[in-house]
Amino acid sequence: MAVSHVTDIEVLPHSEAHSAEAATERKKKSIIWTFFSICVTDNTKAVCGTCQEKVSRGGKSSKSFNTTNLRKHLELHPKQFKEFSGMEEEKVKEKGKGKRQATVDGLFERQRPYSLDHHKSKALSYRIAEMMAVDLQPFSLVEDPGFCRLMKEADPRYSIPSRRYFSDVLIPQIHTKITSLVSQLLKSTQYISVTTDIWSSGHSHHSFMSLVAHFIVSESFEKKSLMLSCWKFDESHTAENISSSILSHLQSWDIGAKLVCVVRDNAANMVAAMNVAGLPSLGCLAHTLQLIIKDGIFQQPAVQNLLTSARSLVGFYNRSNTAFHMFQQVQEQLGLPKHCLFQDISTRWNSSFYMLQHLLEQKRAITVASTECESTPPTELRAQQWTLAEKVVKMLVVFEEATREASGDYASSAIIIPIINTLKVALSTDEDDSGVMRMKRGMLKSLEDRYSNVEQNPFCAIPIVLDPKFKLQVFSYDGNAAHARMLVTTECEQVLTSLKVHEESPAKRHRSEVGNHSSSLWNIFDEMIDKPTTSNHENGYTAEVMIEMYLKEPIQPRHIDPLEYWKEKKQVWNGLAIMASKYLTIPPSSASSERLFSTAGDIISEERNRLSTEKAEMLLFLKKNLPIFDYKY
């Protein structure tokens, strides 16, 4: 009788020293062991129950054991082998029945919709809620036919919950979890700076205030920015109301003594609010530059006329399809970049700069298109206006670059003094055009008036000393550089003293335990050597020596990240590294808060004007913070 030899891989106990009885129990999973038993004296052999012959199990270790030899030996006993074959056939039939039943049951199970609490349903629902927040999708997304078809194709068993489930359950749940993570991160942080701003929504007819935290993680020396709050602020924008509201939100996040500086705009009520609240603050560099440009250039009648004509010209090409297509054809013929003309926003000076810059780039195309187009523009730039546009753009290039630098995500207030002093030089160069010189002198005076004491401001002076790209090199007066160095030295001494006090030596702890057993002589000696001093700290460096060593190092290249520098140096100059983790948290502008409101404008849009302010804040909070935590909560 031909029998197929199916090899059964046996699972033995981990130790060969286990008893033969234990091994036998494990082998009963294979039917062959009905006719054999493991040899008590040699577990590499099996004993035939019919003839008592010892048969090899196929190897010397448990990993190589199999039942092939046992099957071959059992064929020598036809009666027993027939019985074995029958048992195997019955086992196969039973398995087949079980599989068929399992297949039917599984089919129904695979078609049954997930419950709301099913892990797959919860995972998909959370991903949709995250998408609503991060991609600014409305809650009604889950009712859109296209989205419903997509989810049906992706997983037919998933039933999309209602929009109310997302707005009233999941978004608040995620908001609570991310709020907890933000709170934990802030608690582990030693120093925090914040930016704040006020914005009015035309769609919701509400005003909002924002608070964004900026800090450096102690271990990694990585700078992070987190949105803390964006709340409805419909009260009168008085200094008292603003100060009360900001203090309340700072307290709710338990920032308190950790606060380094508040960066705000230069509006009189905001400046007064910080004074009323007793909060250290710094004016936004980007906002100050805007005021200087507005006063010095955009208030000039000739420039105002230029901007009016430029807006009219750009509007003509953007509104007229015929003119626009003609403009594109001429661009291609002349080999010019296929850029559209840029319409400015009158409240943002840099958008007016970009408008003029694009017009100058496309001057040849505009000139040709205007002559070939069926309808001519209502206004064309005269020759002297083109010349003025060139001079204005040339004058503003350095201001545009300075504004971009100040608005960077990881910029610090260390760049303020270098930018101000560089702009002073740029505005001091002579020009042939008397009108341009007049504008330059006006801007220079405004710049000097607004930043007359910038080099003595600790929130600008200390950060620049601690930035290895600048140090003391960019101060315009030696006296200001010496003053900045003195500020750093004084605070560094305080930091080192604090470290000395908190890092009590084991010897001192032991002496405290000994207590009264020490003699008066040695008590006095112990107090003498344990007395905190600024003359001998970690590595034996005083604050003055530490700063001297730091300043003697070469100035670092422009592309170097100062935080990476201090991460490497914190073991050598810990006192200065701690100061860097404090003062390099200060942003040079409140751009992060302004960008927050730009996103808020997308959330509180005309199409979503019924969205509650509470839900809008939750969505904005998640939009900004979910990616920072890598969607893990």
Per this entry, what is the length of the chain?
633
Cα of 21 vs its chain's centroid, Å = 62
What is the SS3 assignment for 208? Answer: strand
CA dist., res. 12 & res. 30, Å (int): 13
| Pairing assessment for the beta strands 207-216 and 223-232 based on DSSP bridges | antiparallel
Give the pLDDT means over successive 10-residue stretches in the chain (633 positions).
37 38 50 88 90 89 86 89 87 74 59 89 97 95 97 95 96 98 96 93 78 94 95 92 96 96 96 97 96 91 94 92 92 93 89 96 93 82 95 95 93 97 92 84 94 97 98 95 98 92 56 54 64 48 93 94 95 95 97 82 66 89 96 95
**What pLDDT, on the 0 to 100 scale, is given for residue 409?**
87
Q: What is the 3-state secondary structure (H, E, C) of 521-585?
A: HHHHHHHHHHCCCCCCCHHHCCHHHHHHHHHHCCCCCCCCCHHHHHHHHCCCCHHHHHHHHHHCC
What is d(CA 436, CA 148) in angstroms, rounded to the nearest whole number? 61
Query: What crossing angle do the helices spanning 363-372 and 321-334 adopt, rounded to 10°?
Result: 130
Nearest C-alpha neighbor of 300 from the set 448, 441, 451: 441
Please give the pLDDT value at position 508: 52
Structure tokens that stand for 535 in this block: 């003359």
Q: Determine which helix (DSSP H) or strand (DSSP E) holds 377, and give its type and residue range.
A: none
Query: Is the separation of the CB atoms in 214 and 585 below 8 Å?
Result: yes
- Residue 97's alpha-carbon distances to 30, 102, 122, 474, in angstroms, are 19, 8, 35, 86
The β-bridge partners of 377 are none
Using an 8 Å Cβ cutoff, are 217 and 603 in contact? no
Residue 279, amino acid = L
pLDDT at 513: 52
3-state secondary structure 586-611: CCCCCHHHHHHHHHHHHHCCHHHCCC
CA distance 14 to 223: 51
Q: How far apart are CA 258 and CA 279, in angstroms?
A: 12
DSSP per-residue codes, 231-257: EE--S---HHHHHHHHHHHHHHTT-GG
Q: Which residues contact 452 (CB under 8 A, 6 or more apart)?
A: none
136: exposed, middle or buried (Cβ count in 10 Å: 0-12, 13-18, 19+): middle
CB 253 within 8 A of CB 247: no
β-strands 223-232, 259-264: how paired? Answer: unpaired
With H, G, I as helix, E, B as strand and everything else as coil, classify residue 282.
strand
> What pLDDT, on a 0 to 100 scale, did the predictor assign at position 153?
95
* Measured CA distances, 585 to 178, 257, 421, 474, 579 (Å): 22, 15, 22, 20, 10
**In this structure, is the dihedral angle defined by the CA atoms of residues 553, 559, 562 and 564, taken in order, positive or negative?**
negative
Q: Supply the Cα-derived Rg of the chain in whole angstroms.
A: 38
The answer to whether 208 touches 621, Cβ cutoff 8 Å, is no
Pairing of strands 54-56, 45-48: antiparallel
Find tokens 């008893």 and name the residue.
19
Q: Answer whether 576's CB lies under 8 Å from 492's CB.
A: yes
Residue 521 burial (CB count, 10 A): 8
Distance (Å, rounded) from C-alpha 183 to C-alpha 396?
Answer: 42
Q: Which stretches does DSSP call E strand in 2-68? A: 36-38, 45-48, 54-56
Predicted local confidence at residue 60, as pLDDT: 84
- Integer distance in angstroms from the first to the last C-alpha of the chain? 65
Domain regions of the chain by residue span:
20-111, 113-269+595-633, 290-452, 457-583
Q: Residue 526 carries which side chain, given as an amino acid letter?
A: D
Cβ atoms < 10 Å from Cβ of 522: 12
**pLDDT at residue 253, rounded to an integer:** 97
Residues with Cβ within 8 Å of 453's Cβ and at least 6 positions away in sequence, in order, are none
- DSSP-derived 3-state class of residue 203: coil
Query: How far is 267 from 288, CA to CA, in rounded Å?
Result: 10
User: Which helix (H) or strand (E) segment is 226 a member of?
Assistant: strand 223-232
